[in-house]
A and B are shown apart, each in its own frame.
Chain A
Amino acid sequence: MNAPIPLAELTAGSMNWERGTSRIPFAVYNDPALHQLELQRFFYEKHWCYVGLEAEIPNPGDYKRTEIGERSVILVRALDGVIHVVENACAHRGVAFCRARHGNVQAFVCPYHQWNYALDGRLRGVPMRHGVKREGVVQGGMPADFNFADHGLTRLKVAVRGGVVFASFDHDVESFEDFVGPDVLRYFDRLFDGRKLTILGYNRQRIPGNWKLMQENIKDPYHPGLLHTWFVTFGLWRADNRAQMVMDRHHRHAAMISTRGNAGAVSEVSRVSSFKQTMNLHDPRFLDIVPEAWWNGPTAVMTTLFPSVILQQQVNSVSTRQIVPDGHGHFDFVWTHFGFEDDTPEMTQRRLRQANLFGPAGFVSADDGEVIEFSQQTFDAKPAHRTLVELGGDEVANTDHMVTETLIRGMYRYWREVMAR
């Protein structure tokens, strides 16, 4: 049995890191104090977090309830069309008053004491503010200096780009464009190029693992051609495809860019048990792939924006995957599949069919959640140990191949810089 580890040893500064960030202490995945610090430093300060797509709230009064970190927030389009994000917490007694997941309203009203807010979060009405008159005498009421302007909902800073909405509790955060940085922004703009989006629907899964493991999963180009039979067999993602790994200057965000090749071909990379040379689909419509002009070459670009979202283009299937941490024990993973306004009915059908590869039941993605769960089980059982991410050495640098774990090392270099502040 492991002896309990003193908290001091688990803090970011004294944690035992070896060879740069190529060996990650298990403690980063299961220490409650670190988790609280991560929420503050990554989700509530200095970062932009994903909240949704403009197409989810097309009309004035439309709202969607979601989360940033572990805080409930509301994405809403005000009656004048402007998008706001406010915290779902009444200024009076803290009630998370908004219970529906989406809807259309003229105002927010907390049911407890009927405090009333405009859709931009400004306080508009407080019952019995001026007291109640009985027998000619005014009784009670709020103090004379009660100022509505001081008691609105917490308003977040909002950035909208290409139909995607990000928000930050930190009003001093840098611009969204600076936050993402030009090298990764290129790939964001490739997917969200200004065309109007259409919502195809949601998938939700609760994965019993630390939230960072999902960022790492999509910063890990090593596993798709090994864990995912469909990827290696049908050439969608395999180590001999043309590929690029690109990070922002802080190494927190990344794009994994790959171009399909070698479907079915036997080579160095197909000598793995997941490669099924004789596998044929009974119904090939699952992979009825039609190249689209906006791809400009790559057939898959997986973008991780730290800390809150993954942007997926895998051939014709496109989605956002929001990461919602919840304690160290699990995180929720919310998939929003979408299409574009100019899609033909056939293209919409194709995106929906290819969605069978992704999500909690996907031919490819279902096993990502499984392996994350199994990693976490070991982290919890053996907190003094560490993982190994040394494919490609211990460097942190962009590459023009996918035989590397450099993006994970980069993420933890950033993590350490921020956590040690």
Chain B
Amino acid sequence: MTAAIGFEDWQALTQLYADYAHVVDAGLWEQWPELFTDDCVYRVQPRENFERGFPLATLSFESKGMLKDRAYGIRETLFHDPYYQRHVVGLPRLLRADEGRFEVEANYAVFRTKLSQLTTVYNVGRSLDVVVRTAEGLRFARREFIYDSEMIPNSMIYPL
């Protein structure tokens, strides 16, 4: 990799990834949109669509507002079996570093645990991300989860 990055940026970047996993695993749905820029893109897409150039994503949001609508949906409108999710995220792989803008890829695995059930591997893949510096610190301008686990075990309620 030729992308170079200073220690402070690297620390901030890895902290952002760790914070993200904390927020979605702890169910802090009101905090989740705040990790993104206002005009962010958030997508969860099966690998087959990504690789074949099909635009459909399982979740496809184009603004922080859409993320807030999803957060409301989880709390108020979507009837679902409650579950825990747990992200294990690999080290960010820096693809490109410009001033205040980083293109990053990271492998991830999400485990799902339903109440009184065994833990299962729920969704694995990689994220393709664009992280930008803002007045509030680093934020995701783009987060695309490209998942290998194309057969979703029934439903996907919480954001990856």
Contact = CB atoms under 8 A, between A and B. Distances in A.
Interface in B70-116: 70, 72-73, 76-81
A207 to B, nearest CB: 5
Given A203-B58, A283-B66, A367-B79, 6 more contacts: A201-B46, A202-B46, A205-B155, A279-B77, A356-B60, A361-B157
A370 B77 contact: no
Interface string A202-224: 11111110000000000000000
Q: How large is the interface on A (under 10, 10 to 19, 20 to 34, 35 or more residues)?
A: 35 or more
Interface stretch (B9-17, B20-28, B49-57, B130-138): B49-57
A356 B77 CA distance: 14
A102 B53 CA distance: 14
A201 B80 contact: no
Nearest to B64: A282
B33 to A, nearest CB: 9
B154 to A, nearest CB: 5
Contacts of B126: none
User: Is the contact region of chain A dominated by helix, strand, or loop, or is it mixed?
Assistant: mixed
A282 B66 contact: yes
Interface in A29-48: none
A203 B60 contact: no
A101 B54 CA distance: 15
Contacts of A276: 76-77
A373 B154 contact: yes
Interface of B: 44, 46, 48-49, 52, 54-66, 68-70, 72-73, 76-81, 150-157
A363 interface: yes
Given A203-B46, A283-B63, A353-B60, A366 B157 contact: yes
Interface of A: 101-102, 199-208, 227, 229-230, 233, 274, 276, 279, 281-283, 285-286, 332, 337, 348, 352-353, 355-356, 359-361, 363, 366-367, 369-371, 373-374
Contacts of A199: 54
Nearest to B61: A356
Contacts of B80: 366-367, 370
Given A200-B55, A201-B54, A366-B78, A206 B60 contact: no
A352 B62 CA distance: 11
B56 A366 contact: no
25 contacts: A200-B55, A200-B56, A201-B46, A201-B57, A202-B48, A203-B56, A203-B152, A205-B151, A205-B152, A205-B153, A206-B152, A206-B154, A208-B154, A229-B78, A276-B76, A282-B63, A283-B61, A283-B65, A286-B69, A337-B56, A352-B56, A361-B156, A369-B154, A370-B81, A374-B81
B155 A370 contact: yes
A356 B59 contact: yes
A363 B77 contact: yes
Contacts of A202: 46, 48-49, 54, 56, 150
Contact of B156 (A230, A352, A366): A366
Contacts of A367: 78-80, 155
A207 B153 CA distance: 7
